[in-house]
Amino acid sequence: MEKFKDNSGAALIVTLLVVVVLTVTVTEFLYATWVDYALAADFRDDSKAVHAVRAGVRAARAIIVEDFKQAKAFDSHNEMWAQPSIPIPFYNSFVFITIQDEYGKLNLNSLVKAQTGRPTGGVNEGMYKVFQRLLENIDVDIEVADAITDWIDADNDGYYEYGIYQSKEFPYDCKNYYLDSLDEIKLIDGVTPEVFQKLKKHVTVGSTKSKKININTASPELIMALHDNISRPLMETIINARKEASFKKIPDLKELSGFEDYLSWNEEISTGEVLFSSLIGVNSKTFSVSVTTTIGEVTRSAEAIYWDRNGVKAELIYFRIL
């Protein structure tokens, strides 16, 4: 009779193979379940974040409208809307709102004279000189002023016109019309990414009716550009004065010590028609809004611009979720 064979080794191997197969199957199942859960959670959080930034934009409108009711005569960095970041509770997180006064910036569309709501071939000399001085103050080539003006004006005269853009690797036309957004200036010759970063804090794009610059919110570099006789000491005097108390009306500037020593109130800017006293204002109708929130692992942002703000409403003219 044959000797009984011991099969325990084979059985052990089969058992181990079964365990390995089950382990791999269960692991793959758990991983797939985790991935599905993570995707569902991200979708849920993304939906919440989108709703959150939309709510933040609406909250910003309520803030600037209420500000008009409280102090419609002026807008300044001393007011609640001008906080660097306004936190608004949303679900178990916060929406952070930043509001900027667009009247505190130079409106690039005002560089060219307008007729019946359209740009002409004529340069607004007063604003053009202001822009040139601003470029010098922020260490940007003043030729950028010509490039932007040629992009807006209605004619094809000038160096930065048709030929410049048609000779590029991917050619396009010179617009010869108003800028629709600030990002559009990236298309203009000479506006490099570095130049854009320097410019965007000081310039804006808006209606040509918006020519006044809010002295309460203008940057130091822009204040010095408003007139050739505004020196750094006078600029610092203006900045320090508005920190202590907002300018509530334009003639308040005349009360500053030494103001008349630097600047005649009705002196024209260069050879243009714009007088210093008619160039500046103390309030605003246009505000830009930046909103951001983080819910779970998802971060969402939004940008918006409100125009024609009053004590009842503010018109949303631009909105984008990032």
For 168-205, write each residue's pLDDT tens digit.
888 888 898 999 999 999 999 999 999 999 999 999 99
Q: For 176-200, give one letter per residue: b (16+ CB within 10 A) or e.
A: bebbeebeebeebbbbeeebbebbe
**First CA to last CA across the chain, in angstroms?**
84
Q: Regarding predicted confidence, which is higher, 308 or 42?
A: 308
Neighbours of 242 (CB within 10 A): 22
Q: For 114-125, give one letter per residue: b (16+ CB within 10 A) or e.
A: beeeebeeebbb
CA distance 228 to 280: 15
The pTM of the full predicted model, rounded to 2 decimals, is 0.81
Q: Regarding predicted confidence, which is higher, 12 or 79?
A: 79
Q: Does position 246 have pLDDT exceeding 70, yes or no?
A: yes
Q: What is the pLDDT of residue 272?
A: 45
Q: Does position 269 have pLDDT exceeding 60, yes or no?
A: no
In eight-state DSSP terms, residue 108 is: G
Q: Regarding predicted confidence, which is higher, 154 or 145?
A: 145
Q: Does position 63 have pLDDT exceeding 60, yes or no?
A: yes
To the nearest 10 degrees (0 to 180), the angle between helices 125-137 and 143-152 is 140
Q: What is the pLDDT of residue 6?
A: 59
Average pLDDT, the chain: 85
